[in-house]
């Protein structure tokens, strides 16, 4: 039997950010594969049997979390379209550095840093692109800039005794997604979800099962993946308007018909973001502004990726196609959007 066919021995794996959709899916998959999983997050989880509560900004809590771990899969991050640079630095950069140091000192051998393709997206269309090099000076928005810096720091730690890889899942969605899917459905229901440039931009997305599978595979294939950054998608680019319509249909709400020029949305997004920060989001109804320059760029420029390197390095392919994912989403909502009832 070849080395690749020998089942991996169970390991002790720390998953940070397991209270989120993707982190929870990663922890569940690891357990299903027989690994001993500890989670590290700020909020208690009813599904976790071994968890450490705390923040990446607390070095003592981080050290408790990594004690006795063989490997770390790091998903915890400040994820937002807006916010102060200081807050992004504290969690995404300094917090990641704290975790890297603690994991290495605790004797962990492998570290999977879950990143984002936005670290190498500089506002221009990406058509069939590779992973690209993370660049905090050119990345758009504080989230992308901070993740770019954190990814570079993480990969710089890659060494024979402490292997590091960066996995960049792109636009992850699926049942239970409160960040993208439910916000999109809510805004479409309220008539606050315009298309940009008729929704023509071609983009890749990643169904939740596929994102979790690729991340776990990054740990299993660390011998081949270490030192690399790999973008993960379904490999099924579609016009953004078609994707939005599919999600809205699954959630039982009408798809948006109003279209706004991309250039206008980008300009408006810059203004809205400044006003939002000046007013303070705590005084407003929603946690996220209705539009930012970064979001407008994401909705109006192509960003889809060549998956050949990712699939070769990880020896992996998506298990759930886009259309099947939309069927599962519709089944989750039972034909009704979140918050509705028959």
Known catalytic residues are 143
For every residue of 169-222, DSSP letters joined together read E-SEE-TT-TTTHHHHHHHHHTT---EEGGG--EE--EEHHHHHHHHHHHHHTH
At 141 the three-state DSSP class reads helix
CB 269 within 8 A of CB 166: no
At 78, list the tokens.
């400040």
Q: Nearest Cα to 72, choosing from 31, 20, 37?
A: 37
Look at strands 202-203 and 206-207 and give their pairing.
Answer: unpaired
Q: Which residue has the tokens 């994102």?
A: 211
Buried b (16+ CB within 10 A) or exposed e, 172-204: bbbbebeeebbbbbbbbbeeebbbbbebebbbb
Asked if residue 110 lies in contact with residue 219, where contact means CB atoms within 8 angstroms, the answer is yes
Alpha carbons within 13 angstroms on the beta-carbon side of residue 205 total 28
DSSP class per residue in 48-102? -SSEEE--TT-HHHHHHHHTT-SEEEE------SS--HHHHIIIIIIHHHHHHHH
Which residues are bridge partners to 127 per DSSP?
A: 304
């Amino acid at each position: 039997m070849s080395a690749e066919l020998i089942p991996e021995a169970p390991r002790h794996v720390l998953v940070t950010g397991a209270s989120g959709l993707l982190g929870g899916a990663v922890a569940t998959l690891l357990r299903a594969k027989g690994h001993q999983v500890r989670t590290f997050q700020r909020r208690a989880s009813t599904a976790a049997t071994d968890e450490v509560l705390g923040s990446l900004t607390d070095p003592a809590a981080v050290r408790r979390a990594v004690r006795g771990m063989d490997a770390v899969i790091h998903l915890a991050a400040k994820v937002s379209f807006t916010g102060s640079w200081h807050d992004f630095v504290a969690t995404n950069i300094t917090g990641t550095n704290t975790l890297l140091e603690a994991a290495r000192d605790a004797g962990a051998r492998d570290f999977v840093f879950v990143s984002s393709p936005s670290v190498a997206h500089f506002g221009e269309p990406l058509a069939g692109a590779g992973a690209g090099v993370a660049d905090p000076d050119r990345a758009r928005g504080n989230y992308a800039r901070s993740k770019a810096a954190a990814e570079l720091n993480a990969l710089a730690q890659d060494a024979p005794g402490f292997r590091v890889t960066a996995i960049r899942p792109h636009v992850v969605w699926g049942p239970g997604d409160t960040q993208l899917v439910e916000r999109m459905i809510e805004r479409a229901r309220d008539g606050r979800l315009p298309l940009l440039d008729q929704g023509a931009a071609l983009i890749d997305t990643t169904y939740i099962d596929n994102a979790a599978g690729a991340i776990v595979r990054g740990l299993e294939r660390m011998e081949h993946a270490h030192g690399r950054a790999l973008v993960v998608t379904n490999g099924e680019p579609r016009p953004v308007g078609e994707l939005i319509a599919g999600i809205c249909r699954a959630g039982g709400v009408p798809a948006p018909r109003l279209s706004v020029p991309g250039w206008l949305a980008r300009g408006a997004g810059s203004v809205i973001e400044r006003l939002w920060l000046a007013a303070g989001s705590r005084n407003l109804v929603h946690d996220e502004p209705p539009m930012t320059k970064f979001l407008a760029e994401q909705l109006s420029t192509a960003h889809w990726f060549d998956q050949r390197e990712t699939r070769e390095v990880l020896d992996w392919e998506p298990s759930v196609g886009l259309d099947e994912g939309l069927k599962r989403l519709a089944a989750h909502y039972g034909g009704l959007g979140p918050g509705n009832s028959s």
